Amino acid sequence: MPFSGGWPRRDKTASRAAALVKAHLRQRQRHTKQLPAGLAPLLHGIDNQRLLALANRQIVAIFYGWGERVHRRQYNQPPLRYNGSMKVDLHCHTRHSDGELDAPALLALAAEREIALLAITDHDSLGAHDELAASGEPDNGVKLLPGIELSTSWRGRGVHIVGLNIDPANKQLRAGIAQQQAAREQRAEIIDQRLAKLGFANTLVGARQRAANGFIGRPHFAAELVARGVVKDHNAAFKKYLGAGKAGDIKEQWADLATVVEWITAAGGSAVLAHPDKYQLTRTKLCELLDDFTGVGGTAMEVVSGNQTHAASTKLAQLCRQFNLLASSGSDYHGPSLPWASLGNQPLLPGGLNAVWEQF
């Protein structure tokens, strides 16, 4: 049933969803005790999708990854609309990078979620677009925007730039992607050596087996460390070995900011600074990044991203206006077992912004 404005105060599906939330809270006392007053009800994100389906997207989305908790206000909002009536998700992944679904399955999920405009933005890869072009894109009501998420490093930090509405055939972009993929291979060897020094030999072999389509990234090393029992889960692998500042955090190989923005622009696309809140920069540093980004031709930033607090979105909205950028919104969905982001269920863009998708 499409949303038609206003939240019904009580209906059957809403009550069932509320009951599910309560049951979860009972099971997860450990977590709920850590929550500041006024933030209940929260539940583990893995059941977001079930709840959202049950509640017709009316009640609850919880983001419980990367140590962040989202204020209830955020998920009590109606879903984001495209052209005033439909949903948009301009950031998500398939098995062509570190996502769990293949491209047709992701598109089917987007159709099920009634997403009108979707950008698949795999890391340093257009494989999903190539696959869909070869198999014939299904006509399921989802408008697919060619996209990519390019890795770069800025002042020693890993930063991601999303390219939207790019021409997948553009030669300069394709050459850039080939360069990034070679960099990824070199980097995988270095990560392997670094982890070996810590006592975990030959992780590259296992990581490669887990990486479909030849793409290899830190999440595949994380999966290998989990499988070996070194860490309990994906997040712990990043926290201890692969995340920012840890042994496996290698980003020197990536092309620089100006170069990746140039590839996107040359391919006729819009360059979007991905999830600015994830870099844990001070406000001053973030302004410097935005200065550099706009200086080299960046045109938009993600104001809303999956697993982001309401406070962060408000801060980013203000910066978006200050830097005169267009605003984007994407879940950064990676798959059903990575529960911190739910495809197409981002909260609304804060007011007073110009949405990047209006031009597509």
Ordered DSSP codes for 123-185: BT--HHHHHHHHH----SSPEEEEEEEEEEEETTEEEEEEEES--TT-HHHHHHHHHHHHHHH
**Of residues 89, 98, 122, 224, which one binds ligand AMP by CB under 6 A?**
98
Cα torsion at 214, 217, 221, 223 (round to 10°)? -80
Among 15-23, 44-52, 100-108, 160-168, the segment contacting Mn ion (CB under 5 A): 160-168
**Of residues 13, 31, 47, 66, which one binds ligand AMP by CB under 6 A?**
66
Q: What angle do CA 240, 286, 187 make, to 5 degrees?
A: 40
Distance CA(5)–CA(331), nearest Å, equals 22
Residue 113 in contact with ligand AMP, rule: CB under 6 A: no
Distance CA(248)–CA(210), nearest Å, equals 17
Which residue number has the CB closest to Mn ion?
Answer: 160
Contact between 18 and 8 under an 8 Å Cβ cutoff? The reply is: no
Q: Which helix (H) or strand (E) holds 270?
A: strand 270-273
Residues 331-350 that bind ligand AMP (CB under 6 A): 334
In the complex with ligand AMP, which residue's Cβ is closer, 194 or 334? 334
**Of residues 146, 219, 306, 347, which one binds ligand AMP by CB under 6 A?**
219
Residues 25-44 that bind Mn ion (CB under 5 A): none
Distance CA(247)–CA(262), nearest Å, equals 30
Q: Please state the closest distance from residue 249 (CB atom) to ligand AMP, in A.
A: 8
Among 153-161, 194-202, 285-293, 335-343, the segment contacting Mn ion (CB under 5 A): 153-161
Residue 332 in contact with Mn ion, rule: CB under 5 A: yes
Taking residues 94 to 113 in sequence order and writing x for each that binds Mn ion by CB under 5 A, - otherwise, the string is ----x---------------
Residue 217 in contact with ligand AMP, rule: CB under 6 A: yes
Which residue number has the CB closest to ligand AMP?
Answer: 217
Residue 125 in contact with ligand AMP, rule: CB under 6 A: no
Q: Please state the closest distance from residue 250 (CB atom) to ligand AMP, in A.
A: 8
Burial of 341 (0-12, 13-18, 19+ CB in 10 A): buried
In the complex with ligand AMP, which residue's Cβ is closer, 27 or 280? 280
Contact between 331 and 90 under an 8 Å Cβ cutoff? The reply is: no
Q: What angle do CA 56, 144, 331 make, to 5 degrees?
A: 50
Q: Please state the closest distance from residue 333 (CB atom) to Mn ion, in A.
A: 9
Six-digit token string for 262: 């140039």
**Of residues 57, 87, 95, 160, which one binds Mn ion by CB under 5 A?**
160
Q: Which does 45 bind (CB under 5 to 8 A by kind): ligand AMP, Mn ion, none?
A: none
With a CB cutoff of 8 Å and minimum separation 6, the contacts of 53 are none
Q: Please state the closest distance from residue 113 (CB atom) to Mn ion, in A.
A: 18
Contact between 110 and 142 under an 8 Å Cβ cutoff? The reply is: yes
Q: What angle do CA 212, 218, 220 make, to 5 degrees?
A: 35
In the complex with ligand AMP, which residue's Cβ is closer, 25 or 46? 46
Q: Please state the closest distance from residue 293 (CB atom) to Mn ion, in A.
A: 15
Residue 122 in contact with Mn ion, rule: CB under 5 A: no
Residues 220-279 that bind ligand AMP (CB under 6 A): 234-235, 238, 243
Sign for the pseudo-dihedral over CA of 60, 164, 327, 181: positive
Q: What is the binding site for ligand AMP (CB under 6 A)?
A: 66, 98, 123, 151, 217-219, 234-235, 238, 243, 334
